[in-house]
Amino acid sequence: MTTTEQTAPAVRTGEETDEEFRARLRAFLAENHPGRRPKDAAEALAWQKAWLATLFDAGYAGPAWPREYGGMDLSFAQQVIYQEEYARARVPGPLATGLGIAGPTVIKYGTPEQKERWLGPMLRGEKVWAQAYSEPEAGSDLPALRTTARRDGDEYVVNGQKVWNTRAEIADILFTLVRTGEPDSRQKGISYLIIDAHAPGVTVRPLRDLTGGADFSEIFFDDVRVPVVDRVGEENDGWRLVRTSLGHERAAGAMNQASLYRRVLDELIALARERGASEDPLVRDRLARFEIEVRIMRYTGMRTISDIISRGEPGPASSTSRLFTTTFEQELHEFAVELLGDDGILGRKDPDAVQKGRWVWGFLRTRASTIGAGTAEIQRNTIAEQVLGLPRDPAMPPR
Ligand SMILES: Cc1cc2nc3c(=O)[nH]c(=O)nc-3n(C[C@H](O)[C@H](O)[C@H](O)COP(=O)(O)OP(=O)(O)OC[C@H]3O[C@@H](n4cnc5c(N)ncnc54)[C@H](O)[C@@H]3O)c2cc1C
């Protein structure tokens, strides 16, 4: 890897056109590309952290974040360019879920001291943040959560269990929702608490998924002591914060996914050509539909960024974008596996697998896309109620 000193400083005085910005970013990403991901998990983590530090130190981290916290505070057009170039360069993305979800929440609701303490290290990848909201009995119905935080002087004592927590096995910090009100207080008795993942009483156990990987975990809290100053927002007001944070979770990936799938679709079209399937009218029809959809994703991603810039929040429309993207990626991988026929089911470890089994791996991985960050059914409910103004889901308890 070349050092950051060899590149031009990211923050410039004077005007720079969007195309100059694109060229500068493209050159930076190419010159500093960290190379292939190491196979060993610990080495891969160190490699990814080193890359995030390189980005941060050179002023290329946090395209939408304010400058005072180490971000770039880019204009709308430059955020679009950033996501496009980032996907094109095939460099590693953020670690775990902190940047896209907890970051915007702390920026909006954190105290100056919390922002100072948490945001820089999160953006630089020094501290990995993982989301710990879901529980065995509280997924779609998150207000039913039961993990308790009992006040004891300047500390909370936390007990309970979380589950499906993405990359919690590498986390330094967990951003959680805990019950500080009465057991049946639902939304009115939830607080947003930041917990040290290495504190005594925290146990993180990785769970294996159908791809063979173990990218999410279950977490147990056993009399974990957490300073009250690590609560974001007021006690029992966490639900208001979590609505922001879930909106950001759904919106965070929109433009990034659109840029990523632009490239993946080009690769799928190349694959269809290589396999002699590109003359087949049915294949062409499907590819044309994916082409239209990838373009819609781009415009939706742009709309999401523009909403965040103008209103400070992604809003309920982030559900449309999430639903569209997750359905798209499932259909794209289903089609790729179909296109490959028998060869399509050879997995990553099979020496005869086509392109190292990436398509069947994607097929398996994207089964989870319409569950994580709110299931497809819940996204549809949100769109029905908050975008279309239809009556509330009768299955949900009154707010
Ligand atoms: C890949 C992945 C990553 C995840 N990462 C995280 C993470 O980092 N942190 C975290 O806290 N959680 C995470 N989750 C958990 C995720 O948020 C939950 O799985 C999700 O909210 C669904 O909850 P559940 O699994 O309890 O299913 P349930 O809520 O029990 O739902 C079961 C089924 O019932 C349907 N259903 C439920 N209620 C309704 C309704 N009112 N109307 C219509 N249908 C309904 C659902 O759509 C689903 O099909 C992740 C999940 C996945 C798959």
Three-state secondary structure call for residue 129: strand
Tens digits of residue pLDDT in 215-230: 999 999 999 999 999 9
Tens digits of residue pLDDT in 233-243: 999 999 999 87
Query: What is the atom index within ligand 1 of the atom nearest the CA of 132?
Result: 11
More confident residue, 301 or 112: 112
User: Is 4 part of any domain?
Assistant: no
Taking a C-beta distance cutoff of 8 angstroms, is the pair 206, 216 a contact? yes
105: Cα within 13 Å, side-chain hemisphere: 30
Q: What is the DSSP string of 4-17?
A: GGGS--SS-SS---
Query: What is the atom index within ligand 1 of the atom nearest the CA of 134?
Result: 11
Tell me: do 39 and 58 sit in the same domain: yes
User: Is 248 part of any domain?
Assistant: no
The answer on pLDDT for 102 being more than 90 is: yes
What is the 123 CA–ligand 1 centroid distance (Å)? 27
**Banded pLDDT at 336 (limits 50, 70, 90):** very high
Could you say which of 249, 279, 338, 385 is catalytic? 249
- Which is nearest to 173 in space by CA: 165, 183, 181, 161? 165
What is the 374 CA–ligand 1 centroid distance (Å)? 5
Q: 132: which strand partners?
A: 176
What average pLDDT does the structure give for the chain? 91
Cβ of 320 below 6 Å from ligand 1: no
What's the pTM? 0.92
**Banded pLDDT at 90 (limits 50, 70, 90):** very high
- Which is nearest to 233 in space by CA: 388, 110, 132? 110
Tell me: do 113 and 144 sit in the same domain: no
What is the 176 CA–ligand 1 centroid distance (Å)? 16
Cβ of 176 below 6 Å from ligand 1: no
Which protein residue's CA is at the shortest distance from atom 45 of ligand 1?
377
Which protein residue's CA is at the shortest distance from atom 43 of ligand 1?
377
Tell me: do 33 and 149 sit in the same domain: no
Tell me: do 175 and 300 sit in the same domain: no
Q: Which domain holds residue 57?
A: 15-124
The answer on pLDDT for 10 being more than 70 is: no
Tell me: do 92 and 152 sit in the same domain: no
Taking a C-beta distance cutoff of 8 angstroms, is the pair 169, 214 a contact? yes
CATH number at residue 179: 2.40.110.10
Token look-up 């569209």 returns 324
- Domain end marker among 124, 143, 160: 124
Query: What is the atom index within ligand 1 of the atom nearest the CA of 141?
Result: 29
User: Is 76 part of any domain?
Assistant: yes
User: Is 370 part of any domain?
Assistant: yes
User: Is 395 part of any domain?
Assistant: no
20 belongs to the catalytic site: no
Cβ of 375 below 6 Å from ligand 1: yes
pLDDT of residue 2: 35
What is the 140 CA–ligand 1 centroid distance (Å)? 5
* Residue at 190: amino acid letter: I
What is the 372 CA–ligand 1 centroid distance (Å)? 6
Number of domains in the chain: 3
The pair phi, psi for residue 323, each rounded to 5°, is -65, -45
Close Cβ partners of 274 (under 8 Å, ≥ 6 residues apart)? none
pLDDT of residue 146: 98
Query: What is the atom index within ligand 1 of the atom nearest the CA of 140?
Result: 29
pLDDT of residue 182: 97
36 secondary structure, DSSP code: S
Cβ of 164 below 6 Å from ligand 1: yes
